[in-house]
Amino acid sequence: MMESISGMTIVVLPRGETPYRVTMGMFLLDTHGPGVKDVILRPLERSAFLSHVETLAVTAPMEPVEPSYARKLLHELTAWSRSHGFSPHPDYVKVEQIFGGIDPKACDSTFEFGHDGKPVLIANISDDEWDMAEDDDDDDDDTIEGVADEVVEVEQSERQ
C-alpha cells in the first residue's frame, strides 16, 4: 500500500470464478473522514479486470496485501467513520460479502484514521476517475461465488 496525503484509497478484491472470469469488488475509501465512499461489484472477463487494475495503477502504485488486511481496514474504517457520524456507501454491506470467510482478526496491522484521530474533509479524486471502473450495464448480477484470491490490490493507502 502506498501512503497517501489525501487519504484516498482504492481496495480491489478479485474472486476467481473460472480461469477466464472474476468478480471484482472495489471500495473507494477516504481514510480522513467519510470512510467507504463508493463500492462496485462486477463480474468481468479476467482480461478486463487486469485492464482496470492497470488503469488504476497509472494514477498511483498498487500494492498487493493479504485479504485479511483489506477486510480489517474496511471494518475498522467503517466503525471509526460511523463513530464520527458518517455512514458507508448504501451497498457496502452487500459488496463487502465478497470477502466470504476471510477473518480480519488474522491481520495484526493497526490503522490510524483522520488527522490526530479527528475527521478531516479533503478534496478527493474526481468522479470521472472513479467512474472509469464502472460500466453502464444494469444487470444487477451481484452473485458472489468462488474463493478469494491470495492477495488484493490496494491503491494510495495509509499502511501502519
109 and 156 Cβ atoms separated by less than 8 Å: no
Q: Give me the tens of pLDDT residue by residue for the chain, a chain 160 residues long.
A: 333 547 888 999 999 878 899 999 999 999 988 999 999 999 999 999 999 888 888 887 888 899 999 999 999 999 999 999 999 999 999 999 999 999 999 999 999 999 888 888 755 455 555 454 444 444 444 333 333 444 444 544 444 4
**Using CA of residue 33, residue 156, residue 154, residue 57, what is the dihedral sign?**
positive
* Model confidence, pTM: 0.74
d(CA 41, CA 142): 6
Residues forming beta bridges with residue 13, ordered by sequence position: 25
